[in-house]
Structure formats: structure tokens, C-alpha cells
Amino acid sequence: MNTLRIRAISRKEFIHIIRDPRSLGMSIAIPMLLLLLFGYALTLDVDDVPMVVWDQEGSQVSREFVSRFTGSPYFSLQAYVTNYRDLERAVDSGKALVALVIPTGFAGKIDSGREAPVQLIVDGSDSNTATIAMGYADVLAMAYSQDVALDEIRRMGGTELALPVDVRPRVWFNPDLESKNYIIPGLIAVIMMVIAALLTSLTVAREWERGTMEQLISTPVKGHELILGKLLPYFAIGMIDVLLAVLMGEFLFQVPLRGNIALLFAMAAIFLVGALSLGMLISVVTKSQLLASQLAMVMTFLPAFLLSGFMYAISNMPKAIQLITYLIPARYFVALLKGIYLKGIGLQVLFIEAGLLTVFGVMMIVLANVKFKKKLV
């Protein structure tokens, strides 16, 4: 392996990147823009659920019950309605996700110790938000029922009752349960997978389309030297992207980085090598920039977004899909990033993911070198 020839190829590729604003934009500006858009737009936090209330009784007791909802951070009162038509219109139009109906006689049943049914109408078109909203409503109604029962016992002079089970939850790693804390690390993996593969997927194909591959073939440059020389500039740009993403996560999104930052960059380097080599392999096989870019997008974005565990828990997927996720390298990088960012753990726990990520990188380099031939056909 001749380092002089590798440096010459790398220099040529660097010059091309600098002279092509689109390449620079794709390599640096687009990852930052995607991180901004996804970081602010993607959230699984459910707060201020819009609701309307139809209080058919209008008593002090019913108003107190409604205040349990309006005084919580989970529901946002939009309006009081006086008939079912207005309630239905509010839910149909999207003005309200939840409608609370308190029937006549609610206070009387509460005072007499009987069950007092209330109706909660939930828009199920967004099933995830609807499920979480119903969970919030159940907790608030249960807390209200417990308070009423305890007040009744005190009023009758009974002894103070203690709840048989005292649950005191303690959340590890993400105590505020903010979705951005685990979305941002996963986003770094998805964006780097897509951008890295897209960048190198055009390199060899561009040489074929512009007719400069014949000149390279006629030189003493060997195949593996050409591959390595073309990878190095994009590897450097990729590491700059990782640095910028980490800085944005730390200072813009305030995502805690509890683990070893050196380990994070080491794992990112291995992942980048594999993703860049995958793009190079696509470029070598297709020999067409258009086809290479389309194939790179299909092979990176969709699997990394859907099957890496970034957005959806792999354990909730069908068994057949769970088996397929083992072939997705972003799965291991997402697990590594979340472990380093949120849990502060190292290779003593994540050695399997790190090992499989290394296998992916080595395989992609070998395949790219095997597939590239210094021949015109």
C-alpha cells in the first residue's frame, strides 16, 4: 500500500468537495438541519392535551372534580359546552382530543357514597396519544376517589387508613422522562448513517459518469488505495459532523452526556467507516449517481429509522421483524449512543454491540474492495 498514492487520491477528493458547494452542503449543513428539524419536531411527550367539558350538573363537587384535570399539566381546558352537538363538533374538528361529561346527580352520588359514573370521550385517531391521555385521566380520577373516601372516613370519625401498597417510583437515567433525551442520541445515529452512505455512494459512480475512471485505471493506483483514498476525506467530514451533533445535543437540546466522550467518538468512527464503505460499495456496484443515491437512501434511511430501535421499541415488533433488526447496523450504534449518553456505561456492558458494529465496518470495507475492479467492464 503506497501512502503517497492514497494521499494523492484523498487530495483530489478534498479539492472536489471544496469546489462543489452542494457536496459541502450535503456533508455539513444537511445533518445539522435534520438534527434541528427532527430534534424539535419529534417528541413523544404528551402535555396540555386539549379537552372540553360538559358539566351537566354545575355543582361545587363537579367543579372540584373538573379542577383536578384543569389544574394538572396534562390537560388544557379549551371550552365548556352545554350540549352533545357542541361536544361532538369540538372532537371532530380537532379542537379537543378529550371530552369530559359529568352527568346530573354526580354530587348526590358522591355525598351518599355511591358510585358516580362520568364519561370520558377520547379521539382515538392518534392511538398513542389517546392511550396516554386515558392513562392520565385514570390516575386523576383514582386520586380524586381516594381523597373523597379518606375525607368521608375522617368526617365519620374513623381511624386514618393507610394504603396497603405505597409505590414510590424512581426513574433512572432519564428522571424527567423527556423524550428528547433519548431521541437526540438516536437521531445522531440515523442521520450519520444516511449522510455517510449518500456522500460516498456518488464518488465512484461520478468517476464512471464523467469518464475520469479510465484515467484512474491507467495509473499505478491500486483498487484498495483508491477506495481508501476516497474514504478518508468523507471520514474527516463525518467526524466533524459527529462533533457538531454532540455539541448541539449538549448546548442546544441540553441532553446529558454521562458516559465517556472518547468512547462515543471511537464508536462513531467505527460506525462511520462501515456506513461510508456501504455507500462506496453501492457506488461501485451501480456506476450511476442517480441509482446510487436512490439505493443508498432505501438501504439506510428506512431501516435505520424504523428498525434500529430509535423510534419504536424492538421488543414490541413481530418476531420476524425482530430477527431482521439484527442485520441493521444502526441498531447497535443507537444502543451504544443511548447507553453512553443516558446510562454512562462502557464496553463492559456494551461490548457485544461494539463488536458487531466492528464486524459491520470490516465487512463493508472488504466487500467494497472485493467488488471494485480496475477494469472498464
pLDDT digit string, tens, across residues 72-112: 989 999 999 999 999 999 999 989 999 999 999 998 988 88
Range of the domain at 122: 49-155
What is the count of structural domains for the chain? 2
One domain for residues 285 and 182: yes
| DSSP secondary structure of 32-48 | HHHHHHHHHH------S
One domain for residues 358 and 213: yes
One domain for residues 353 and 327: yes
Instruction: Quote the pLDDT of residue 113.
Output: 79
One domain for residues 83 and 191: no
One domain for residues 222 and 361: yes
CATH number for position 106 = 3.40.1710.10
Instruction: Quote the pLDDT of residue 179.
Output: 84
One domain for residues 68 and 201: no
Which is it for the CA torsion 187, 191, 194, 197, positive or negative? negative
Instruction: Quote the pLDDT of residue 167.
Output: 77
Which residues make Cβ contacts (< 8 Å) with residue 368, sequence separation at least 6? 227, 277, 280, 281, 284
Instruction: Quote the pLDDT of residue 246.
Output: 93
| DSSP secondary structure of 303-352 | HHHHHSSSSS-GGGS-HHHHHHHTT-HHHHHHHHHHIIIII---HHHHHH
Instruction: Quote the pLDDT of residue 4.
Output: 87
Name the 3-class secondary structure at 99: strand
- Measured between alpha carbons, how far is 361 from 130 in angstroms, rounded to an integer? 42
**Structural domain contains residue 166:** no
One domain for residues 26 and 58: no
Strands, DSSP E only, in 81-226? 98-102, 119-122
Low-confidence ranges of the chain (pLDDT < 50): none
Q: Are 118 and 65 in contact (CB under 8 A)?
A: yes
Instruction: Quote the pLDDT of residue 160.
Output: 60
Instruction: Quote the pLDDT of residue 59.
Output: 92
The domain boundary, picked from 155, 188, 211, lies at 155
One domain for residues 205 and 275: yes
3-class secondary structure per residue, 186-247: HHHHHHHHHHHHHHHHCHHHHHHHHCCHHHHHHCCCCHHHHHHHHHHHHHHHHHHHHHHHHH
**Structural domain contains residue 167:** no
Each residue's pLDDT tens digit, 203-240: 777 777 777 766 776 777 787 888 888 889 889 989 99
Instruction: Quote the pLDDT of residue 374.
Output: 61
One domain for residues 13 and 114: no
Name the 3-class secondary structure at 78: strand
**Structural domain contains residue 162:** no
Instruction: Quote the pLDDT of residue 161.
Output: 59
The domain boundary, picked from 155, 188, 214, lies at 155
- Measured between alpha carbons, how far is 138 from 118 in angstroms, rounded to an integer? 11
Instruction: Quote the pLDDT of residue 80.
Output: 95
- Measured between alpha carbons, how far is 268 from 276 in angstroms, rounded to an integer? 12
Name the 3-class secondary structure at 361: helix
One domain for residues 187 and 126: no
One domain for residues 214 and 92: no
**Structural domain contains residue 216:** yes
**Structural domain contains residue 168:** no
**Structural domain contains residue 164:** no
**Structural domain contains residue 110:** yes
**Structural domain contains residue 160:** no
Name the 3-class secondary structure at 282: helix
One domain for residues 98 and 218: no
